Amino acid sequence: MYNLEQIATEKDEMREAVLHARPYKPIYVKIKVNYGCNLKCEMCKHWRETREPPISMDRFREIISELAELGCKKIHFSGGEPMLRPQLPDLVEHATGLGMRVTLTTNGTLIDKVKAKRLIEAGLRGVNVSIDSPIRKMHEKIRGVEGSYKLTTHAVSLFRKYSHKGKLTVRINTVVGRSNYQTLATLPDLAHELGADGINLIPVDDHCGEHLSMRKKDIELFNAEIAPVIERRANELGVNISNDDAFPFGKDETEVKLGRAGRYALGYYNTRPCFAP
């Protein structure tokens, strides 16, 4: 993944790499530090499967050093649930010390006061916390663990409370599917209450055969009654969400057709080729 502003200043180098099928330096890298998770989300397969043990944290340190030498500018840590690796703040500190911007996606249930402060002091600059509904019962139905809502929302508050120790952007990730979309109108209010900077609406994918994806009638209702409220309320409260982000399934008939098929770029790359690996 690439930083477009940096690419614009290195367009000749990028052009040569594309023309001659040569690798271009990885400016933005996403690292999944483990596959497992402590929740049982209905749309996810991580907790349903077992895989080989993850590589050691020492090897991750080496990889991060190698990425810095290659010119990497940003690393995003995810999983599974990355906070299952207790040494994660050390990796954040290592990458930050090498001049890279570091961000994180977490379900927040393993975050306490000490961990929030440690991550921020290590140099974490952005965190996305997964909340699938402003209604506790709905969030916990989707996430599969009772009590997870309180832990997750508290994590957002902790990140905001201690963010004065560093420059940290806090966003809420919300997976949108047919079971929860009608509960999302007050999501900006929750984000504002917890101190989050913004909201990311992410269309659900049916990875595991649960039939959670949005049907045509669901998208029509979401676009007519829910998305406009989310957009308006977010703007009123100063919660960051762009017009396009409020309508992740598209707006017009052509876009909605693509959205229903899981093509959430909505045809963007049909006319704009992507050269990222």
Q: What is the pTM of this model?
A: 0.88
| Residue 166 within a domain | yes
| Residue 187 within a domain | yes
- Residue 133 belongs to domain with CATH number: 3.20.20.70
Q: What percentage of residues in the chain have a pLDDT greater than 90?
A: 64
- Quickly list DSSP for 173-194: EEEE-TTTGGGGGGHHHHHHHH
| Residue 237 within a domain | no
Confidence (pLDDT) at 49: 81
Q: Is-contact 168 119, C-beta < 8 A?
A: no
Lowest-pLDDT range of 20-29, 31-40, 69-78: 20-29
Residue with tokens 């690798």: 23
Indicate if the pLDDT at residue 273 is higher than 80: no
β-pair type (124-130, 169-176): parallel
Confidence (pLDDT) at 272: 74
Confidence (pLDDT) at 101: 96
Confidence (pLDDT) at 164: 79
| Residue 188 within a domain | yes
| Residue 253 within a domain | no
Tokens representing residue 210 in the block: 């649960």
Band (pLDDT 50/70/90 cuts) for residue 264 is confident
Q: What DSSP element (H or E) covers 258?
A: helix 253-260
Report the number of distinct structural domains present in the chain.
Answer: 1
- What's the whole-number mean pLDDT along residues 232-241? 96
> Could you give the CA distance from residue 261 to residue 97 in angstroms, rounded to a whole number?
43
Residue with tokens 């409020």: 246
Quote the domain boundaries for residue 71: 26-212
Band (pLDDT 50/70/90 cuts) for residue 108 is very high
| Residue 199 within a domain | yes
| Residue 269 within a domain | no
| Residue 104 within a domain | yes
124 backbone φψ class: left, alpha, beta (φ>0; ψ -120 to 50): beta
